[in-house]
Structure 1
Amino acid sequence: MIDPVALTSRLIACPSVTPADAGALDVIAEALEELGFTVHSFWEGGPPDGPVRNLFASRGEGGPHFAFAGHSDVVPAGEGWATDPFEPIVRGDLLHGRGAVDMKGAVAAFIAAAARVSNHQGTLSLIITGDEEGPASHGTVALIDWMDARGIRPDMCLVGEPTSAARLGDTIKIGRRGSVNMWIEVPGTQGHVAYPHLADNPVSRLVRILDEVKGWTLDTGNRWFQPSNLEVTDIAVGNPATNVIPAAARARLNIRFNDEQRGQDLIDRVREVVTRHAPRGTVEAKISGEAFLTEPGTLSTLVTDAIRRTTGLDAELSTSGGTSDARFLSKICPVVEFGLCNATMHKLDEAVAIPDLHALTDIYADIIAHALGGGQQG
């Protein structure tokens, strides 16, 4: 048997700030190998976003194939912690440390759950990346490519992101909005403010562009998603003089969009507006992920039933929040997300309730047993 609190503590002690591994995947690999998993670990990419270490582990063979996905990397700790963020410490019933909630606690709970389910059918696997909190360039995407090259494809996947809000088990994610960032640059002609006819003010053009796109109603949402939303996140001119019309003006915007939109279509719409108001303007864009939805069905029922049996709660099915690696995994199989309470993720003095770690282990063990069969120990 594996104590999820002790394993979480070992993982917290690894300062695995993206893209550093700091020994975290060694801890995970050791625990899984003792449980009979075959573990593959490899490095991907190079500076500045890498190298990144990833891990794929599996036990059993054939179908059905149930996968758990997670990450061992964490965001920077920041200043102002009460204690060293990478020295796990228990105060009351809370285990403190960076990554306790997001998401070393869930990884430890799933490994502990796998230890409790014996003689399961099919295949149980873990897809663990060291590049979720960063650019995600060399993480789950690389793992999926590695799996594809070997003909490995899960039938369903559970991502251990901290989805619970007020109580463990109150929320699971069955989808996520997409996200696209755009950088707009409008060139002009520099000149003296007293002679505007000899210049071309790019700020005026940029303001008209932003006013138009902010006035859009992209959609009104649907059953599972809130309306898509565009926000201007930065405006920059960098003009130190009060009597000079600047040579260029820049802005950045982000669109969080539901499954009625596609990232490239939104980029094309913005480019059309920019070209109309500023023919020499440019738009650079990066799609972080497309929106996805796993329709309620076998997988969501598997998770909600396990939550109900352990906690008595009826989990809400939600698509709220930011993006996660589920956006990549959704392309290969049905995927939902469920994990710990998210109140302290990315915050100072991040902490997980110890009873929640044990309860999450119970829930994950229930999910494995009902997904693959087999008996539970302990």
Structure 2
Amino acid sequence: MIDAIELTRELIRRPSVTPADAGAMDIVEQTLRGLGFTCRRMLFGEIENLYARYGTESPNLCFAGHTDVVPVGDVTAWSQGAFDAQVVDGVMIGRGAVDMKSAIAAFAAAAAKAIDAGQVAGSLSFLITGDEEGVATHGTKMVVEALDIEDEVIDHCVVGEPTSSEVFGDMIKVGRRGSINAEITVEGVQGHVAYPHRAANPVPVLLRLLLRLQERQLDNGYPEFQPSNLEITQIDVPNTATNVIPGIARARVNIRFNPRHTGADLARWIENEAAAEAQGFAGTVVVVPQISGEAFLTEPGPFTDVVAGAVYDAAGRAPELSTTGGTSDARFIRALCPVVELGLVGRTMHQVDERAPVAEILQLQAVYERLIERYFQTFSAEQTTGS
């Protein structure tokens, strides 16, 4: 058996700030090998990834998560060492306590119990990355692509992100909005402010373009999703002189969008608006879009029923099925199979003194135990009936 609390502490004590691993993946691999999992380390660039599987038959229920964490910020502001994993008054304090080393430990402990009880009528797998908090180019995205090429079948996936909103078990995520960033560069002609006819000021062009983008109402929402929104995240004019018309101005925008849009469509829209604003301007307007992920939804059905039922059985609460919040690695995994996210209360993630009550970590383990049990009861029975 695995002690989820001690395993959480072991993981927190590895300062795995992206892209560093600091031995965190070794701990996960050793733990799973001890349970009989076949483990594959998948190194892409400098990022450590792990795919581990117990069993060879279908259905294959996968748990996905990440060992990397965000920087601690001001170390002097922490009441305890950020990587000391101290338990104070029943609360685990440390970077990764919520997001999301505790979830990895809880699912490993739940898997150990399920294996010991002979409940795995198929396969259990783990997809763990060290690149979720970073640019996410060499982590789950590349593991999913590799598994897809190899025809590795994952039937359903649970991501251990901290999805609970106010109290444990009040929310699971069944979808996410997509995300696109666009960097806009307007290059004009630098000159003296007293002779504007000899210059081409890029600032008014950039401001008009940003206003055009901001004024459009993208949509009124989509079933299960909130409206899409565009936010201006940066404006930069590298000019320190008061008597110089700058030669360049830059901005960045981000759009969080629902399934009414695709990233490619939004990129074309921004580019078209930029081209329209550039007409008659003695300079250039360049847009560089980067699509972080498309919007997706795991439709309500047997799988979401299994997950929600496990929460109700172990926590006594019927969770809301939500699509709110930011992006996660679920956006990559959805290419392989239906995916939901289920974890602790996320209120302190990325904060100083990130913390999780020990009782809630154990409660999450209990939910995962019931989820595994319900999953194989449901989907192994389906396969038997279908055959």
- Assess same fold via TM > 0.5: yes
Superposed displacement of residue 150, structure 1: 2.8
Distance 2:58 2:321 in 1: 27
Aligned to 2:298: 294
Aligned to 2:206: 206
Distance 1:182 1:164 in 2: 31
- 2:325 maps to amino acid: G
Say whether the 8 Å CA contact 2:47–2:138 is kept in structure 1: yes
Distance 2:239 2:26 in 1: 51
Equivalent pairs counted in the alignment come to 369
Distance 1:315 1:289 in 2: 25
Superposed displacement of residue 29, structure 1: 1.1
Could you say what secondary structure the match of 1:281 adopts? strand
Could you say what secondary structure the match of 1:144 adopts? helix
2:82 equivalent to 1:85 = yes
- 1:76 maps to amino acid: P
* Matching residue within 56, 60, 66 for 2:61: 66
Alignment deviations for residues 195-234 of structure 1 (CA, whole Å, 9 cap, x no partner): 2222221111111111111000111002211111001111
Say whether the 8 Å CA contact 2:175–2:297 is kept in structure 1: yes
Say whether the 8 Å CA contact 2:42–2:143 is kept in structure 1: no
**Bigger CA drift: 199-208 or 301-310?**
199-208
Aligned to 1:222: 222
2:313 equivalent to 1:313 = no
Superposed displacement of residue 277, structure 1: 1.1
2:7 equivalent to 1:3 = no
Superposed displacement of residue 373, structure 1: 4.1
* Matching residue within 354, 360, 365 for 2:358: 354
Alignment deviations for residues 219-265 of structure 1 (CA, whole Å, 9 cap, x no partner): 10022111110011111111112122111111111111111111111
Say whether the 8 Å CA contact 2:148–2:336 is kept in structure 1: no
Aligned to 1:114: 111
Please, which runs of 5 or more residues in structure 1 have no aligned partner?
A: 46-50
Matches within 5 A, 1:314-333: 314-333=318-337
2:100 equivalent to 1:103 = yes
Superposed displacement of residue 101, structure 1: 0.5
Alignment deviations for residues 327-355 of structure 1 (CA, whole Å, 9 cap, x no partner): 00011100000001101101111111111
Matches within 5 A, 1:167-246: 167-246=167-246
Could you say what secondary structure the match of 1:240 adopts? coil
**Bigger CA drift: 122-131 or 29-38?**
29-38
Q: Percent of aligned pairs with the same residue?
A: 50
Say whether the 8 Å CA contact 2:177–2:324 is kept in structure 1: yes
Could you say what secondary structure the match of 1:209 adopts? helix
Aligned to 1:125: 125
The TM-score with structure 1 as length reference comes to 0.95
Alignment deviations for residues 53-98 of structure 1 (CA, whole Å, 9 cap, x no partner): 1101111121111111001111111112122111110101101111
- 1:95 maps to amino acid: M
Matches within 5 A, 1:21-32: 21-32=21-32
Distance 1:129 1:28 in 2: 11
Please, which runs of 5 or more residues in structure 2 have no aligned partner?
A: 379-387
Alignment deviations for residues 278-321 of structure 1 (CA, whole Å, 9 cap, x no partner): 25210011111111111111221111100001111110011111
Please provide the CA RMSD for this pair. Answer: 1.2
Distance 2:349 2:292 in 1: 21
- 1:291 maps to amino acid: A
Superposed displacement of residue 145, structure 1: 2.5
Say whether the 8 Å CA contact 2:37–2:52 is kept in structure 1: yes
Structure 1 moving runs of 4+ over 4 Å:
none
Could you say what secondary structure the match of 1:10 adopts? helix
Alignment deviations for residues 110-138 of structure 1 (CA, whole Å, 9 cap, x no partner): 00000111322111100000110001111
Matches within 5 A, 1:159-170: 159-170=159-170
Distance 2:207 2:146 in 1: 46
Could you say what secondary structure the match of 2:32 adopts? helix
**Bigger CA drift: 313-322 or 73-82?**
73-82
Distance 1:130 1:217 in 2: 37
